[in-house]
Amino acid sequence: MSDNKIVLSRIGKAPVPVPSGTTVTVQGDDVTVKGPKGTLSRSFKGVTFEQSGSDVIVHPKDTSRSGKALHGLGRALLNNMVIGCAEGFKRELDVQGVGFRIDQKGSDLVFQVGFSHNVSYTLPAGVKGKVEKQTHLILESCDKELIGQTAASIRSIRPPEPYKGKGIRYTDEVVRRKAGKSGAKG
C-alpha cells in the first residue's frame, strides 16, 4: 500500500444522523448530546467533529494506526449517544428456576435465586428498572454502556447453569444444555 493513499475507517466515514428534537454540542474534545430521553456528555481523544446540516461527521486527527482505530470508535460512540438520547436503549432479563423471583423496592431489586439469603442490587442513577410477573426485568436507559454493564452485573448474580437452565439470563440468550449423568449404576 502506498503512503499517498489514506485509508480511513469504514465505520468512521459514515456521518452520524441527528434526528429532530436532539441537539449535539461540540466544544473542543467534549461532546454533549441532549434529547427527549436524556443528556449525555463524553470527552473524545484522537478525533474532531464537523457539523453539516443535521449530520455530524467525525474526522481522525492523524492517520496512524491508532488514529484510524479511534476514528471508527469515536463515530460509534457518538452514534450510540445520539440514539440513546433520541430513542433510549432497553435490555430485558429473565429469571428461571423453581422459586426464583425478583421484587422491586424503589430503585432496589431483591433477587431470590436459590441462595440461603436474598440478594439486593441497587440500580445506578440513569437506569430505570421495571419488574413484570416477578420473573421478567426490563431495564431502560439512554446510556448504552451503562445499561449493558448493569445488565451484566445483574446476570452475574446467578448466571444460567447448563444442566437445568436455572439462573438469570438475557431474554434473547440461548443457554446450551448438557445431558448430565445418566445410567450410572454401581
Domains and CATH numbers, the chain: 10-86 (3.90.930.12), 89-170 (3.90.930.12)
pLDDT less than 70: residues of the chain = 1-9, 183-186
pLDDT of res. 91? 92
pLDDT of res. 4? 47
pLDDT of res. 7? 56
pLDDT of res. 149? 93
Whether this model's pTM surpasses 0.75: yes
- The per-residue pLDDT for range 96-123, each reduced to its tens digit, is 888 889 999 888 889 988 889 988 999 9
Per-position DSSP letters for the chain, written without gaps between them: --SSPPPPPHHHHS-EE--TT-EEEEETTEEEEEETTEEEEEE-SSEEEEEETTEEEEEES--SHHHHHHHHHHHHHHHHHHHHHHT-EEEEEEEESTT-EEEEETTEEEEESSSSS-EEEEPPTT-EEEEETTTEEEEEES-HHHHHHHHHHHHTTSPPPTTT--EEEETT--PPP-----S---
pLDDT of res. 64? 79
